[in-house]
Amino acid sequence: NAGVMQNPRHLVRRRGQEARLRCSPMKGHSHVYWYRQLPEEGLKFMVYLQKENIIDESGMPKERFSAEFPKEGPSILRIQQVVRGDSAAYFCASSPRGGFPQETQYFGPGTRLLVL
């Protein structure tokens, strides 16, 4: 049973370009969470999605960032017009059920974004 998959594992962008990060949840999981880990910091929640719905985007920056989880295909975290401060590791996690505090979230290996 494959775990959470993220690609690319490493992404280099120049300032002003767009970054697209993909997350395929574990089989049977329909809930996806995105987290960001800045250098020397812990993980920070960004957004929680179910299939075709954004449930909680309280951690998303107001501009340039968007996320989706379509009916078919992976979840996408999109960053437009990247800036150097966006350089970080982005992790997604999936769970079979969302909204339950005791529910285990399984993390992917992350995408390391470097903005030059």
52 binds another protein (CB under 8 A): no
Q: Identify the helix (H) or strand (E) that includes residue 85.
A: none
Nearest approach, Cβ of residue 6 and another protein (Å): 8
- Which position among 13, 19, 25, 35 is part of the footprint of another protein (CB under 8 A)? 35
Phi and psi, residue 94, nearest 5°: -125, 155
Nearest approach, Cβ of residue 46 and another protein (Å): 9
Phi and psi, residue 10, nearest 5°: -135, 140
Shorter beta-carbon distance to another protein: residue 2 or 14? 2
Contact 111, 6 (CB under 8 A): yes
- Which position among 41, 63, 84, 85 is part of the footprint of another protein (CB under 8 A)? 41
- Which position among 43, 54, 76, 114 is part of the footprint of another protein (CB under 8 A)? 43
Nearest approach, Cβ of residue 69 and another protein (Å): 14
Closest alpha carbon to 29 in 76, 78, 74, 68: 74
**DSSP classification of residue 62:** S
Phi and psi, residue 58, nearest 5°: -65, -20
98 binds another protein (CB under 8 A): yes
Residue numbers at the binding site for another protein (CB under 8 A):
4, 33, 35, 41-45, 48, 55-56, 59, 91, 93, 95, 98-110, 112
